[in-house]
């Protein structure tokens, strides 16, 4: 094992070049490859296997490694597993100091898991799988991936376990635009921590404190997600959307169990929502005002609690900048509250804030540790975009379409011709360049439409078979964003909401949520030239520099990855056209 003591950096720039990061302990399994401070590739396993989130976060599945994502990373670099210099796994089994990891995380089977010794069995299974992960990587790869994964060499000798919240924190700070920042991590749980406080400065990342199990804002949100009839560790963003329709009727209930101290610590008393509000909603049940109000009250409780934690972190560090990661940091309504009412001047959130991002964070943490001096110049570059996934050439795509006897045409001016289709109020699937890393479609694998007519939200929700209450989000040219949304400057990752400007509200009704906000993506030409040009052409036709952007998938499916995925999704969904690289496929 590679051992780099906490707080110390290697004093020499030596061999390590390629560092592979792996997230596999819970869910959102993913791999990332970095080399000398630069990101080479990063992707979630779900995009290759079509199993959303890669797997469920249960002990039985802990052994599963993101082999396809690893293979993709190696392929991008033109190397094999043997060429990787270090491997960083984003969970440290030695960090588990108390038993019963699954006592609260594995509630699904709580009726059969009643005795403490049974919990202990699950913990043992979980930790053994993690300790055996190097052997699983060496021997457990699928046969069809043997080209790059067989003969991996001394994998155990290259292996390093990285603390889960350190990995989240590294993913938040090292790719951020800041030289110095406070870092706040919030998730369900890591080894013991559920909340992490750090201070980052160039190549240094030091943990200040943590909040440990069983007190977890992430798990509180998961618990209510389950109560409201959704899938926990997956559908929390639906609860956030539901919250906009509610009132803070039950906020005092949440306040009665969440206790925030003056020392950055908080506790959450155990409670049974069924005793408070009766039987939970079942998946097929209709939504009632009760559900909206519970979601709203939970959201408000989360926001006011995290505001207090952020204030404490600010008081401790005096930093002007805040970086965030962890699954809770995907809550873009909460992020906006921290931005607007918190003490920090600037807030940056890792776009892959969930556990997938720990693959990147673990790799970057190890890379920085091994290759820098703590007091040296900043080693890692800011992450300007998320396009770290696979891409395919025109030749590959055309060959596939010819083979499949598919009707297609080549476009001469992709941006202009696509904008004209969108201006006719048609809904298109847009597949361009490298796939996004993280849960959001940001113009590489997107469904795009005009925001000008109010019925577009309902049309899209119908086409994607989504719940009616879910909003769709806008993408706007970065230069024009301030004219359309209050207070927005740069928001490339769709991680914050902003109010739609009053004088523009009736121009883009489809993207204005019931509370008057929108989850904005801004784009500049450097980030994705073709995407930018498309919106610019749409603006030339309509006067509106905004499109609706939602993920290129259908209900229950991960976002598409390969051309085959895109074409299958297109032909089995009522989209009007698919623009895939230089080609267009249209329906009659």
* Interacting residues toward Fe ion by CB under 5 A: 187, 355
Residue closer to Fe ion by CB (options 222, 478) is 222
Locate the DSSP E strands across 193-342.
Answer: 193-201, 204-212, 258-260, 266-268, 321-325
* Pairwise CA distance, residues 31 & 356, whole Å: 8
* Pairwise CA distance, residues 236 & 469, whole Å: 14
User: Are the C-beta atoms of 438 and 357 separated by less than 8 Å?
Assistant: yes
Residue closer to Fe ion by CB (options 239, 577) is 239
* Pairwise CA distance, residues 359 & 72, whole Å: 14
- Report the nearest approach of Fe ion to the CB of residue 354 (Å): 7
- Report the nearest approach of Fe ion to the CB of residue 362 (Å): 11
Q: How far is CA 418 from CA 141, 415, 465, in A?
A: 41, 5, 24
Residue closer to Fe ion by CB (options 231, 423) is 231
Residue closer to Fe ion by CB (options 167, 419) is 167
User: Are the C-beta atoms of 138 and 95 separated by less than 8 Å?
Assistant: no
In order, the DSSP letters of 397-409 are HHHHHHHTT---E
Residue closer to Fe ion by CB (options 325, 448) is 325
Q: Which helix (H) or strand (E) holds 428?
A: strand 428-431
* Pairwise CA distance, residues 3 & 185, whole Å: 24
- Report the nearest approach of Fe ion to the CB of residue 190 (Å): 6
Cβ atoms < 10 Å from Cβ of 515: 13
State the distance between the two ends of the chain, measured CA to CA, in whole angstroms.
Answer: 59
Q: How far is CA 547 from CA 31, 318, 454, 524, 531, in A?
A: 31, 39, 13, 14, 10
Strand partners, 346: 321
- Report the nearest approach of Fe ion to the CB of residue 221 (Å): 13
Residue closer to Fe ion by CB (options 64, 537) is 64
- Report the nearest approach of Fe ion to the CB of residue 90 (Å): 8
- Report the nearest approach of Fe ion to the CB of residue 45 (Å): 16
- Report the nearest approach of Fe ion to the CB of residue 195 (Å): 11
Residue closer to Fe ion by CB (options 193, 383) is 193
Residue closer to Fe ion by CB (options 236, 355) is 355
User: Are the C-beta atoms of 436 and 42 separated by less than 8 Å?
Assistant: no
Residue closer to Fe ion by CB (options 233, 536) is 233
- Report the nearest approach of Fe ion to the CB of residue 234 (Å): 14
User: Which residue stretches of 140-216 are H helix?
Assistant: 146-149, 155-158, 164-173
Local structure of residue 61 (DSSP, 8 states): G
With CB atoms as reference, the residue minimizing the distance to Fe ion is 187
Give the number of residues written for the chain: 588
- Report the nearest approach of Fe ion to the CB of residue 339 (Å): 22
């Amino acid at each position: 094992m590679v051992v780099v003591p906490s707080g110390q950096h290697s004093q020499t720039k030596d061999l390590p070049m390629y560092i592979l990061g792996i997230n596999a302990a819970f869910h959102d399994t993913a791999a990332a490859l970095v080399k000398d401070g630069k990101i080479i590739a990063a992707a979630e396993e779900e995009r290759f296997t079509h199993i959303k989130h890669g797997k469920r976060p249960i002990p039985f599945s802990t052994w599963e490694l993101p082999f396809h994502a690893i293979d993709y990373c190696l392929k991008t670099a033109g190397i094999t597993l043997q060429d990787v210099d270090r491997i960083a796994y984003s969970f440290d089994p030695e960090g588990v100091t108390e038993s019963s990891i699954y006592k609260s995380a594995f509630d699904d089977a709580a009726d059969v898991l009643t005795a403490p010794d049974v919990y202990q069995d699950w913990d043992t299974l979980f930790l053994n799988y993690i300790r055996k992960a190097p052997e699983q990587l060496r021997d457990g790869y699928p046969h069809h991936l043997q080209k790059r994964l067989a003969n991996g060499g001394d994998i155990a000798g290259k292996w390093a376990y990285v603390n889960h919240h350190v990995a989240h924190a590294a993913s938040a700070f090292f790719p951020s635009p800041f030289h110095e920042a406070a870092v706040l991590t919030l998730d369900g749980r890591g080894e013991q921590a559920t909340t992490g406080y750090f201070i980052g400065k160039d190549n240094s990342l030091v943990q200040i404190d943590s909040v440990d199990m069983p007190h977890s804002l992430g798990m509180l949100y998961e618990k209510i997600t389950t109560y409201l009839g959704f899938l926990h560790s997956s559908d929390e963003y639906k609860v956030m959307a539901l919250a906009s329709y509610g009132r803070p009727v039950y906020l005092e209930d949440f306040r009665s169990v969440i206790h925030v101290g003056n020392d950055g610590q908080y506790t959450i008393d155990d409670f049974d929502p069924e005793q408070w509000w009766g039987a939970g909603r079942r998946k097929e049940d209709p939504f009632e005002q009760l559900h909206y109000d519970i979601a709203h009250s939970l959201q408000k409780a989360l926001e006011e609690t995290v505001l207090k934690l952020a204030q404490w972190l600010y008081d401790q560090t005096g930093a002007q900048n805040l970086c965030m990661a962890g699954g809770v940091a995907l809550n873009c309504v909460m992020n906006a509250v921290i931005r607007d009412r918190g003490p920090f001047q600037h807030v940056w959130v890792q776009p892959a804030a969930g556990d997938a991002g720990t693959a990147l964070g673990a790799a970057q943490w190890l890379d920085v540790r091994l290759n820098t001096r703590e007091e040296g110049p900043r080693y890692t570059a800011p992450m300007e975009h998320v396009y770290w996934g696979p891409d395919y050439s025109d030749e590959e795509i055309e060959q596939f379409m010819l083979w499949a006897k598919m009707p297609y045409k080549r476009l001469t001016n992709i941006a202009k011709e696509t904008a004209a289709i969108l201006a006719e109020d048609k809904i298109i699937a847009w597949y361009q360049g490298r796939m996004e890393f993280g849960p959001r479609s940001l113009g590489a694998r997107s469904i795009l439409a005009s925001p000008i007519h109010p019925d577009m939200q309902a049309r899209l929700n119908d086409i994607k078979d989504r719940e009616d209450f879910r909003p769709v989000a806008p993408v706007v040219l970065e230069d024009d964003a301030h004219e359309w949304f209050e207070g927005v400057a740069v928001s490339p990752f769709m991680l914050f909401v902003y109010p739609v400007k009053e004088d523009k509200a009736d121009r883009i009704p489809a993207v204005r949520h019931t509370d008057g906000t929108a989850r904005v993506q801004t784009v500049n030409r450097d980030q994705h030239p073709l995407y930018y040009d498309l919106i610019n052409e749409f603006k030339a036709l309509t006067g509106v520099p905004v499109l609706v952007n939602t993920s290129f998938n259908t209900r229950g499916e991960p976002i598409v990855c390969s051309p085959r995925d895109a074409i299958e999704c297109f032909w089995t969904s009522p989209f009007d056209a698919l623009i895939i690289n230089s080609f267009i496929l249209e329906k009659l």
